Amino acid sequence: MRTILVASSKGGCGKTTIATHLAAHFADSGKNTALVDLDRQASSLHWCQRRPEHMPGVLGIHDAKRWTRELPADTDWVVIDTPAGIRASEVDALLEHVHALVIPVLPSVIDLDATEAFLGELKGLARLKRGRIPLALVANRTKPWTNATQQSLERMKGYGLPVVAELRDTQGYVLTTGLGKSIFDYHSENVRSHQDDWAPLFKWLKKV
């Protein structure tokens, strides 16, 4: 069983989009997948419940205290979606159970400032300081043709952490998650180009 934690102190950075898409990808690959939703809004849990019956299912768990007990023994992948405003101490408690930490970042000054503060808080956590838990950034909702995105990516790369994916902005994410689906559930040429954006992230996860 491999567990991925998707976390950021900044709201609206795309944690749920990334968590649900990771879960959908693993499920579509034939893996028994669970999505743990620690946010009281339960957006990831609702996504699991809306997932069409003819598609590979994802087990949704919404129990902050007992989620580890709710996981079936044959679970292959666990993705944890966390709430906005999560504190370093809360991340530390979760790190006991995870194998990788993914932090989504939007290409804006406000989001970058918030991410830098969050990373500063995480630096003191023993598991991260010792390198026991791999940590990576995902640039989300990018617009590569703009100066704002290019400047933001340069700033992210200066953090000394791998930027393992640059996910371009598209309404496809909004439309598919609203249906309990993901872009990985479609096969059109237009969608395939956005699926390719995830390849570096999946390659990184295979190593952790």
User: Which tens digit of pLDDT belongs to each residue from 129-161?
Assistant: 878 899 999 999 999 999 999 999 999 999 999
Can you give the pLDDT at residue 58?
97
pLDDT tens, position by position, 97-133:
999 999 999 999 999 999 999 999 998 898 898 788 9
Whether 88 and 12 have beta carbons less than 8 Å apart is answered as no
Residue 65: is its pLDDT beyond 90?
no
d(CA 120, CA 161) in angstroms, rounded, equals 13
Task: Average the pLDDT over 5-17 and give the result.
Answer: 94
Q: Compute CA 133 distance to the chain's CA centroid, rounded to the nearest angstrom.
A: 15
Contacts 24+ apart (CB under 8 A), 184-188: 184/21, 184/24, 184/25, 184/28, 185/24, 185/28, 185/55
Can you give the pLDDT at residue 91?
95
% of the chain with per-residue pLDDT over 90? 87
Residue 83: is its pLDDT beyond 90?
yes
The β-bridge relationship of strands 2-6 and 100-105 is parallel
Domain architecture of the chain: domains with CATH: 2-203 (3.40.50.300)
pLDDT tens, position by position, 157-177:
999 999 999 999 999 999 999
